[in-house]
Amino acid sequence: VNLFDSLGQKRILITGHTGFKGSWLSKYLEHVGAEVFGFSLPPEESSLYASIRGLDREHEHLGDINDFVEFRDFVKRVNPDLVIHMAAQSLVRKSYVEPIATYQTNVMGTINVMHASLESENIKGLIAITTDKVYENNEAGVPFREDDPKGGHDPYSGSKAAMEIAVDSWRYFYKQVSVGLVSARAGNVIGYGDRSKDRLLPDIIRSLKANKKIEIRNPASIRPWQHVLEPLTGYLIIASRLISQKELSKSYNLGPASQSHLSVMQVAKEANKAWGRDEEIWIQNSESPLPEAMNLMLDSDLAGIDLNWRSKLTAAEAVALTIEGELLAENTTADEVLNSQISRYLEAL
C-alpha cells in the first residue's frame, strides 16, 4: 500500500513554504500527487527556495501570518483539505535579537493560522510544526516524551512552548467541528540547501566550500540530528491518516533513533569525512555567549506505535546525504538534487 495514497489530489496549504523545510516539503508533496499551495514571507535571496522552481502565482501568496485577514482570505480562496503550518521565526540566536517579533509570529501567527484554517470548506486537519526545544530542559539527559513539561530558556524555545499551549487549547474548537489538530515536534534537521546563519551544518558547509577550517561552538553538545526527509515523512503520514482518524489529534515527537543523538564535534567530523577532507577540526571556543541547551533527546516511541513511523537514516547517513547534495548541485540544478534524493528515499521506504 502506498503510505500517502489518501493525499493524492488533496489540496494542501503549507505556511512557510519558502523556508528550508518548506522547499523540501513542496517538492515531496508533488511526488505524492497533492496540489500544493503556499503562504509565506518572500524567500530570502540566497535561500533554497530562490534556487528551485517554486509554486506558480495561482498557488502561492507572499504575505505575513500576523495579518489575520490576509491569511483568512487566502484560506477562503484555496479551501485546503489540510494545512501544514511551518511558518515561524525559526532561529534561536535571532530570537535573542528579535524576541518580540519571534513571539508575535510563533504564537499569535499560529493562532491566526489555526483560527482562519477553520474557514476552509474542505478542512479536515491541521498539523502545527514545533520542535524538540519545547520541553523544559532539566539537562538530565533523559529523552523527552510528549507529556513532559513545556518551557524554554531562550525566546525561540519559549515561543514554541507557548505555541504548544495555544495548539492544545485550539483542539477544543477543532473537535467541535470534527477537524484533526496535531502538533509535531521534530529534531535538528539537516539536508541539502539549508543556508541559514548560525546553524551547525550550513556553517560547516560554508567553511568546506571556502576551504577553511571548520569552527564550532559547544563541541560536546548533543542534539537529535536527522535528515529533513525523516520528519517530513512523519508529517505526511500524519496528514494522510488525519483525514479519517481524528483520534490521532495529539502531539508526536518525530526524532531520530537514539544512536543518532550525536555531539556537535561528531557531526563536524562526519561532514569533514563525507567531503573527503582529513584535516583537523578547529574548535572556535567551547562556550557560546548565548545559552543553548547541552543535551536534548527525544523519545519517539509514540509515533512508532500510532503511525508506524520511525527514522530510517543514521546521523552519519544524514550528514553524508547532505554533503552529497551540495556536491551534486555543483553540476546540476537544485530541483534535480531534491527530486533525485526524494525519489531514492521514497524507494527505500
Ligand X SMILES: NC(=O)c1ccc[n+]([C@@H]2O[C@H](COP(=O)([O-])OP(=O)(O)OC[C@H]3O[C@@H](n4cnc5c(N)ncnc54)[C@H](O)[C@@H]3O)[C@@H](O)[C@H]2O)c1
| CB 322, min distance to ligand X, A | 12
Q: Which is nearer to ligand X, 24 or 275 (CB)?
A: 24
**Of 311, 348, 344, nearest in space to 328 by CA:** 344
- CA angle 274–277–278, rounded 5-degree value: 115
Q: How far is CA 201 from the centre of its chain?
A: 15
Q: Which of 6, 19, 238, 271 binds ligand X (CB under 6 A)?
A: 19
| CB 23, min distance to ligand X, A | 8
Within 8 A by CB and 6+ apart from 270, the residues are 262, 315, 316, 319, 320
Q: Which of 7, 12, 20, 319 binds ligand X (CB under 6 A)?
A: 20
The SS3 assignment for 240 reads helix
Q: Which is nearer to ligand X, 6 or 114 (CB)?
A: 114
Q: Which of 7, 186, 239, 254 binds ligand X (CB under 6 A)?
A: 186
The yes or no reply on residue 88 touching ligand X (CB under 6 A) is: yes
First-to-last CA distance in the chain? 11
The yes or no reply on residue 295 touching ligand X (CB under 6 A) is: no
Q: Enumerate residues 52-81 that contact ligand X by CB under 6 A.
A: 64-66
State the cell numbers at 193: 540547501
**Of 237, 234, 202, nearest in space to 298 by CA:** 234
The yes or no reply on residue 193 touching ligand X (CB under 6 A) is: no
**Of 94, 153, 138, nearest in space to 297 by CA:** 138
The yes or no reply on residue 13 touching ligand X (CB under 6 A) is: no
Q: Enumerate residues 196-225 that contact ligand X by CB under 6 A.
A: 196
Scored b (16 or more CB within 10 A) or e, 14-52 reads bbbbbbbbbbbbbbbbeebebbbbbbbeebeeebbbebb
The yes or no reply on residue 188 touching ligand X (CB under 6 A) is: yes
| CB 213, min distance to ligand X, A | 24
| Stretch touching ligand X by CB under 6 A, among 15-23, 110-118, 147-155, 210-218 | 15-23
Within 8 A by CB and 6+ apart from 64, the residues are 41, 70, 109
The site string for ligand X over 104-143 (x = CB under 6 A, - otherwise) reads -x---x-------------------x-x------------
Contact 71, 65 (CB under 8 A): yes
Contact 319, 271 (CB under 8 A): yes
The yes or no reply on residue 21 touching ligand X (CB under 6 A) is: yes
What sign results for the dihedral spanned by CA atoms 276, 282, 286, 287? Answer: negative
The yes or no reply on residue 40 touching ligand X (CB under 6 A) is: yes
Give the Cα separation of 255 and 240 in Å (integer).
Answer: 19
The yes or no reply on residue 288 touching ligand X (CB under 6 A) is: no
The yes or no reply on residue 22 touching ligand X (CB under 6 A) is: yes
| Stretch touching ligand X by CB under 6 A, among 29-37, 186-194, 254-262, 291-299 | 186-194
| CB 16, min distance to ligand X, A | 3
| CB 65, min distance to ligand X, A | 4
Number of residues that bind ligand X (CB under 6 A): 24
For binding to ligand X (CB under 6 A), which residues are involved? 16, 18-22, 40-41, 64-66, 86-90, 105, 109, 129, 131, 186, 188-189, 196
